[in-house]
Amino acid sequence: MNLKKIPGYMIILSLASLFGCGTANYAPLATVDNVDLQRYIGKWYEIARLPNSFQKGCTCTTAEYSIIDSTTVRVLNSCRKDSINGEPDSATGKAFLVENSGNAKFRVQFFWPFRGDYWIIDLDKDNYSYAVVGTPSRKYLWILSREPKMDDTLYNTLIERCRQKGFDITQLIKTEQKI
């Protein structure tokens, strides 16, 4: 989450979203029907992600969400650089709910005016113990958990669901977490 690299990422993601780039070869990406924001807020541990430039060298990655108002969520992304004992790094942004999405779609902004998609495409609706977030272009994907480690059977089930939705799971990076 090198803060110097976030602007370039957000520009590219925002322009791609604005002009619909990268989604032409994919079926529409389905999200979960509804997200209870009161249950979704809090700390999530990144279990795996597709590679991206703004998280280069990140390990022990977490995302923490808190409600600002009825349509806006504060986002605090944190990681350690290059190892579990590396220097901490973080980025703070806002996520804006997309109207009529059942709280499953957000537009995330780490600096004005650029925003990128954040779509909740899988979720443990009973316990809110895991979530999967992706983008319609299938370029970005995160598997999140309330705990720093995920059961292998559940992890394999989630990556198979992601494969079925058109994500290149062969590129997934498992995130090392301090346990």
pLDDT tens digits for range 66-102: 999 999 999 999 999 999 999 999 999 999 999 999 9
On the question of pLDDT at 6 being above 50, the answer is no
Residue indicated by tokens 């980025």: 91
List all residues 6 or more positions away from 112 whose beta carbon is below 8 Å from its beta carbon.
none
Residue indicated by tokens 């780490």: 110
CATH of domain 6-174: 2.40.128.20
Residue indicated by tokens 């990655």: 61
- Give the separation between CA 23 and CA 26, rounded to whole angstroms: 6
Q: What does the domain layout of the chain look like in residue ranges? A: 6-174
pLDDT tens digits for range 135-156: 999 999 999 999 999 999 999 9
